[in-house]
Amino acid sequence: MKIVRWDEDAYHFAAEKMQKIGLHASDGFFLDLYCLEPGQEQKAHAHDGSDKVYLVVKGQGRFRIGDEEATLSAGESVMAATCDMHGITNDSGSQLVVLTLMAPPPAPRAK
Amino acid sequence: MKIVRWDEDAYHFAAEKMQKIGLHASDGFFLDLYCLEPGQEQKAHAHDGSDKVYLVVKGQGRFRIGDEEATLSAGESVMAATCDMHGITNDSGSQLVVLTLMAPPPAPRAK
């Protein structure tokens, strides 16, 4: 059995942009950790035919879902349904880690 | 935007059996918190056509994937691919919380 860590041992940050750490994936989904330094973002975008869930693991940031924005902290989560615009901005002064699910994965997978 | 807590505010345990707390779901997946008191289990079973991921959020327990078993602790995760037998036993002395993804969801969803 392949045991995959999803705690701080798996986090990876880089000065140039948000990092995506792939945890698990299949034809039906992918599950990543997104690691954002202060000031980094995932620009708002949408997927036709896939839902996405953001679960905040560490820190806090500003999340856009559709036309709404809210600040989420560790222990909170939101879903963007198919075609909903969604994005993240780490407007805090600390590192932000977000467990991110997409189901089904986009084809081809854009990473 | 509907913000859903997935931290201790969402946990729910019951003496009679493992509890499943639904967090997010769509046609493509469901994402639940499984809360197991010491001694509780999810009996080994398999799904034809769906993958499942277990991410340990709190505590530790014994996980079966296929013919293998291992003890996983908070911060570790495993995937059961379609048709792989999988199950959980909380053989520890403390509460166990597991973030559980299934994609796609079984039809009809058995809960």
pLDDT tens string A13-47:
999 999 999 999 999 999 999 999 999 999 999 99
Q: Higher model confidence: residue B95 or residue B110? A: B95
Q: Report pLDDT digits (tens) over A64-102.
A: 999 999 999 999 999 999 999 999 999 999 999 999 999
Report chain B residues whose CB lies below 8 A from the CB of A62: none
Q: Is residue B78 part of a domain?
A: yes
Burial of B16 (0-12, 13-18, 19+ CB in 10 A): exposed
Q: Which of B24, B66, B103 sits opposite A77 (nearest CB)?
A: B24
- Provide the mean pLDDT of chain A: 95
Contact across the interface for A3 and B78, Cβ inside 8 Å: yes
Task: Count residue pairs from A and B with Cβ separation < 8 A.
Answer: 107
Tell me the CATH number at B81. Answer: 2.60.120.10
Q: Is residue B109 part of a domain?
A: no
Tell me how far CA of residue B110 lies from CA of A9, B9, B33, B47, B87, in angstroms: 34, 25, 15, 11, 15
Overall number of domains in chain A: 1
Q: Is residue A6 part of a domain?
A: no
> In chain A, where do the E strands start and end?
4-5, 19-25, 30-36, 41-45, 51-58, 60-65, 68-73, 76-80, 86-89, 96-103
Looking at residue B73, its pLDDT comes to 98
pLDDT over threshold 90, residue B108: no
- The Cα–Cα gap between B103 and B63 comes to 19
Half-sphere exposure for A89 (CA within 13 Å, toward CB): 10
The torsion angles phi and psi of A16, rounded to 5 degrees, stand at -80, -35
CA-based nearest residue to B103, from A78, A46, A30, A109: A30
Looking at residue B106, its pLDDT comes to 83
Q: Is residue B29 part of a domain?
A: yes
pLDDT over threshold 70, residue B109: no
DSSP state of B28: S
Q: Is residue A111 part of a domain?
A: no
Q: Is residue A66 part of a domain?
A: yes
Q: Is residue A4 part of a domain?
A: no
Provide the domain limits for residue A72. Answer: 19-103
pTM above 0.90, yes or no: yes
Looking at residue A106, its pLDDT comes to 83
User: Is the CB of residue A83 less than 8 Å away from at least one CB of chain B?
Assistant: no
DSSP 3-state percent helix, strand, coil across chain B (nearest 5): 0, 50, 50
- The strands making up A60-65's β-sheet, listed across from edge to edge, are A41-45, A86-89, A60-65, A68-73
Q: Is residue A38 part of a domain?
A: yes
Smallest CA–CA distance from A76 into chain B, residue: B5
Contact A77, A55 (CB under 8 A): yes
Q: Report pLDDT digits (tens) over B37-92.
A: 999 999 999 999 999 999 999 999 999 999 999 999 999 999 999 999 999 999 99
Contact A50, A82 (CB under 8 A): yes
CA-based nearest residue to A26, from B18, B27, B102, B88: B102
